[in-house]
Copies of this chain bind each other. A is one copy, B any other.
Amino acid sequence: MLTRIDHIGIACHDLEATVEFYKATYGFTDAHFEVNEEQGVRECMLKINETGDGAASYLQLIEPIREDSAVAKWLAKNGEGVHHIAFGTDRAVADEAADIAGKGVRVLYDAPRNGSMGSLINFLHPKDCHGVLTELVQKA
């Protein structure tokens, strides 16, 4: 079952400048930085609130580190903005993805990959989700 908005993924050209914007403008302070080589991005998870399932909701600010990464291509086409949304699941993300695939929605990876903060993730094809690139997240 999907139990929360895990994060909103926002693509940006300059990670530090964008994090500073969110901190200075809104007062968000809880920031976790990491690099995801597989996805070709540097990112910052800014915690916004606790959620009723015992987890939390974040903004995920992402900056490409390779020109051939999916996020770099997306930024070149669209400019900065919301890149994807992510729901947290309370079970194995592989099981969640398999059930959703059974409803006719294309799942992007054959097996879960590594997401932020030790999570396991998969993505759903935006063309099957009314234009929204949608991520499924199993918390670490």
Contact = CB atoms under 8 A, between A and B. Distances in A.
A139 interface: no
A100 interface: yes
Given A25-B103, A130-B21, A49 B3 contact: yes
Nearest to A21: B130
Interface string A38-77: 0000000000111111000101000000000000000000
Nearest to A96: B26
A24 interface: yes
Given A5-B48, A57-B57, 17 more contacts: A2-B26, A2-B27, A2-B28, A2-B48, A4-B57, A5-B5, A5-B49, A8-B82, A24-B103, A25-B100, A25-B129, A49-B51, A49-B53, A49-B57, A51-B51, A51-B57, A80-B131
* 6 tightest A-B CB contacts, nearest first: A50-B52, A80-B131, A81-B131, A4-B49, A82-B82, A49-B51
